[in-house]
Amino acid sequence: MEKITAHIGTQNYKVDVQGAKQTLIIDEPAELGGQDLGVNPKELLAASLGACTSITLKMYANHKGWDLTDVNIEVTFDWDKENSKSFFTRKIELIGNLDDTQRQRLLKIADSCPVHKVFMNPAEVTTVLV
């Protein structure tokens, strides 16, 4: 089970997030009252998908011994408030000596990333006060 802690104090919207070994800052842009000290929560959500996809593709290619030197992923995220639906678009650039069969296989493998699986299946959030 993954666990993080998030803390917000007196600085408007600046959140310190502590993972197992690293800390990162999440913040809102100045126009929303934040200080723009880090990515905003929506960017972090999109970043999670992009990073997880990149790692999944690199791991798979390494396992197969394929010449995948770089992976560039652009993720856009939009929220349809009216229909309570999220829309993510991934644009994946694969760099290396790959044939079309390998490239198509990697495209399919992109959907195997754990974050993608979370997005595609219903999730439950349990909230308790402590």
- Mean per-residue pLDDT, 56-79: 98
Tell me the average pLDDT across 1-19: 95
Do 82 and 21 have their domain in common?
A: no
Please name every residue paired with 74 in a beta bridge, in sequence order, or none if there are none. 91
Give the domain CATH number at 105: 3.30.300.20
Q: Which amino acid is at 123?
A: A
Cβ pair 1, 15 in contact under 8 A: no
Residues 35-51: what's their mean pLDDT?
Answer: 96
Domain region containing 47: 41-120
**Dist CA 130 CA 128 (whole Å):** 6
Q: What percent of the chain has pLDDT over 70?
A: 100
16 in the same domain as 67: no
Check if the beta carbon of residue 93 is closer than 8 Å to that of residue 73.
Answer: yes
Residue 122 pLDDT class (50, 70, 90 cuts): confident
Q: pLDDT tier at 77 (50, 70, 90 boundaries)? A: very high
73 and 114 part of one domain: yes
Total domains in the fold of the chain: 2
If asked whether residues 50 and 97 sit together in one domain, one would say yes
Is 25 in contact with 9 (CB distance < 8 Å)? no
Average pLDDT, whole number, for the chain?
Answer: 96
Predicted TM-score (pTM) of the model is 0.91
Looking at the fold, whether 32 and 48 belong to one and the same domain comes out as no
Alpha-carbon distances, residue 70 vs 48, 53, 79, 111 (angstroms): 18, 12, 30, 18
Question: How much is the pLDDT for 1?
Answer: 84
**DSSP H helical segments within 16-121, as ranges?**
41-64, 100-109, 114-120
Task: Check whether 49 has a pLDDT greater than 90.
Answer: yes
Asked if pLDDT for residue 128 goes beyond 90, the answer is yes
**What mean pLDDT comes out for the span 90-96?**
99
pLDDT at position 117: 96
> Are residue 65 and residue 23 in the same domain, yes or no?
no
Please indicate, yes or no, if residue 84 is contained in any of the structural domains: yes
